[in-house]
Structure 1
Amino acid sequence: MIKLLRKDLGIKILAVCIAILMWGLANNDKIRSPERENPISEQSFSIFLQVQNIERGLALASDLKAVEVRVRGKSNVIMNLREEDVRAFVDLSGLKQGTHLVPVQVRFPTNCELVSLNPKQVEVKLDQVVTQQVPVEVELVGEPKLGFNAHNPVFEPTEVLVTGASSLVGTVSKGIVNVSIDQLTSSVSGLLPVRLVDINGKTVEGLKVEPEIIDVFVPIMQSMPTKNVPVQLKQSGEPDHGYRIVNWVIEPSFIQVTGSVEYLKGLESISTKPISVAGATKDLVKDVDLDIPEGYNSVSSYKARVVIKIEPKVERKTISGIGIKTVNLVDRYNASLDKKDLSLTLEGKSTILEGLSSANIQAWVDLKEVVLGEIVLPVTVELPEGVKIISQDPAEVKVTIKEK
Structure 2
Amino acid sequence: MDRLFSKGWFIKLASIVIAIMLFLMVNMDTQPQQAGAGLPIPGVTDGERVLEEVPLNVYYDDEQYVLTDAPETVQVVLRGPNSALTLGQATQGQQEIYIDLENEEAGTHYERIQHRGFPPDLRVSIVPLTVQVSLQERQTASYPVDIQILNEEELAEGYTIGEPEASPGTIDVTAASGMLEQVAQVRAAVDVSGRSESFTDTASVVLYDESGNELGINTDPPAVDVTVPITSPNKSVPLRLSRNGELADGLAIDSVSLDPEEVTIYGPVDVLNDISVIDLDELDLEELEGDTTLTVPVPVPDGVERVEPGEVTVEIDTTAEQEREFSSFSIDVESLPDDWTFHFPGNEDGTFTLRALGSTEQLDRISRDDLEASVDVDGLEEGTHMVPLAIGGPQNVRFPQNGSDVEITIEDESSSEAANDASEETTTSEEADEPQENANNEAADENDEFNAQESEEEETTTDENEPDEPADDNSTINEDEE
**TM-score, normalised relative to structure 1:** 0.42
Higher Rg: 2
- Judging by fraction of residues, say which structure has more helix: 2
- Judging by fraction of residues, say which structure has more strand: 1
**TM-score, normalised relative to structure 2:** 0.36
